């Protein structure tokens, strides 16, 4: 008698291809629709601000008779007190704000994460000295620092990035240091050490990816803070000069007139908020994607 054919299909399992952290993360991110939405929105906004002004009206052409009129077909976002098209001004302002936000935050991020990771990992006296330096820089008066910068380097807009970066990296360093100290005693670090990996490798390839979670969250909060800080700096004379503007300045000016000319606040504010929300959801997605311990289900 013939033996019944085994109904069990034996399959050779696919050998799991070794994925790097980053490609893993990318795949996971792609599946997170909310984060993708956020990312796309940011991209769209950036493109709008970068190229939109080519097609829009002039941001500085004044029409004093059309001062502060509400949104209309001719001026989608209305005009400001000098009759300038708010839509154009918001787009131009977006260029400045997004650029400042991204660049300054990137600077702060790079310095802060590296500094904090080194301090946290090495610990001991080095950590103490590094953190005391952070304390010192924190306590120095910011307005005076900025005015001094302008005295020595002029009212250069690139100084803006430096001034903001110089302030924002401090909290980042503290957060990273705290995180690193929390995880450096974990088994995987011991394992890496046992394997004989050098300190630099441990810090950059093992520690930092694991502390990225809070860092990403804090970064998405830093970018809008940077945009508003830019408005304070323009008050001191650093930053974009009139007639150019930025979201921070538009929002500040608009807030003083918000009862009478609500569009001056609402539109730049809405775009600012939109950017912020997108950044945050993108950030959340990134955080989820990079979370090495997240289950694959």
| Of residues 171-190, those binding other proteins (CB under 8 A) | 171, 174-175, 177-179, 181-182, 185-186
Of the pair 11, 81, the CB lying nearest other proteins is at: 81
Shortest distance, position 5 Cβ to other proteins, whole Å: 38
Shortest distance, position 115 Cβ to other proteins, whole Å: 14
Residues 284 and 297: their CA atoms lie apart, in Å, by: 18
| Phi and psi, residue 59, nearest 5° | -85, -15
What is residue 240's DSSP assignment?
A: P
Site for other proteins in 74-103 (CB under 8 A): 81-83
Shortest distance, position 163 Cβ to other proteins, whole Å: 14
Shortest distance, position 198 Cβ to other proteins, whole Å: 21
Shortest distance, position 127 Cβ to other proteins, whole Å: 7
Cα 74 to the center of its chain, rounded Å: 34
Q: Which residue in 27, 34, 72, 110 binds other proteins (CB under 8 A)? A: 34
Q: And the tokens for 191?
A: 């394992």
| Phi and psi, residue 233, nearest 5° | -65, -35
Q: Which residue in 151, 158, 195, 196 binds other proteins (CB under 8 A)? A: 151
> Does 218 help bind other proteins (rule: CB under 8 A)?
yes
- First-last CA distance in the chain: 46
CB neighbour burial string for 77-107, b if at least 16 within 10 angstroms, e if fewer: bbbbeebbbbbbbbbbbbbbbbbbbebbbeb
Q: And the tokens for 108?
A: 């702060």
Residues 249 and 172: their CA atoms lie apart, in Å, by: 25
> Does 155 help bind other proteins (rule: CB under 8 A)?
yes
What is residue 127's DSSP assignment?
A: H
What residues have CB less than 8 Å from 187, skipping those under 6 apart? none
Applying CB under 8 A, which part among 6-14, 17-25, 62-70, 91-99 lies near other proteins? 62-70
Of the pair 198, 237, the CB lying nearest other proteins is at: 237
Site for other proteins in 223-282 (CB under 8 A): 224-225, 228, 234-237, 241-243, 251-253, 255-262, 265-266, 269-270, 272-274, 276-277, 280-281
Of the pair 91, 189, the CB lying nearest other proteins is at: 189
Q: Which residue in 123, 162, 193, 197 binds other proteins (CB under 8 A)? A: 123
Shortest distance, position 1 Cβ to other proteins, whole Å: 48
Q: 238 and 149 in contact (C-beta within 8 Å)?
A: yes
> Does 217 help bind other proteins (rule: CB under 8 A)?
yes
Smallest CA-to-CA distance from 71 within 87, 82, 56, 59 is with 87
């Amino acid at each position: 008698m013939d033996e019944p054919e085994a109904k069990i299909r034996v399959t050779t399992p696919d050998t799991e291809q070794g994925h790097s952290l980053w490609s893993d993360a990318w795949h996971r991110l792609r599946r997170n629709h909310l984060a993708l939405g956020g990312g796309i929105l940011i991209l769209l906004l950036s493109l709008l601000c970068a190229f939109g002004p080519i097609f829009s009206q002039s941001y500085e052409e004044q029409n004093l008779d059309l001062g502060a009129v509400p949104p209309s077909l001719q001026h989608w976002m209305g005009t400001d007190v000098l009759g300038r098209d708010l839509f154009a001004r918001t787009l131009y302002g977006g260029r400045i704000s997004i650029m400042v936000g991204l660049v300054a935050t990137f600077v702060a991020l790079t310095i802060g994460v590296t500094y904090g990771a080194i301090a946290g990992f090495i610990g001991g006296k080095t950590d103490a000295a590094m953190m005391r330096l952070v304390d010192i820089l924190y306590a120095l008066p910011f307005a005076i620092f900025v005015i001094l910068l302008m005295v020595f380097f002029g009212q250069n807009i690139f100084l803006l990035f430096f001034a903001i970066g110089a302030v924002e990296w401090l909290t980042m360093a503290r957060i990273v240091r705290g995180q690193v100290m929390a995880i450096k005693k974990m088994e995987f670090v011991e394992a890496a050490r046992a394997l004989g990996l050098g300190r630099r490798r441990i810090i950059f390839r093992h520690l930092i990816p694991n502390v990225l979670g809070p860092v990403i969250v804090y970064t998405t909060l830093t970018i809008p803070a940077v945009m508003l800080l830019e408005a304070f700096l323009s008050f001191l004379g650093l930053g974009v000069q009139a007639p150019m503007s930025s979201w921070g300045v538009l929002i500040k000016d608009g807030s003083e007139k918000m009862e009478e000319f609500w569009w001056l606040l609402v539109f730049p504010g809405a775009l600012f908020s939109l950017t912020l929300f997108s950044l945050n959801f993108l950030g959340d997605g990134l955080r989820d994607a990079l979370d090495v311990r997240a289950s694959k289900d």
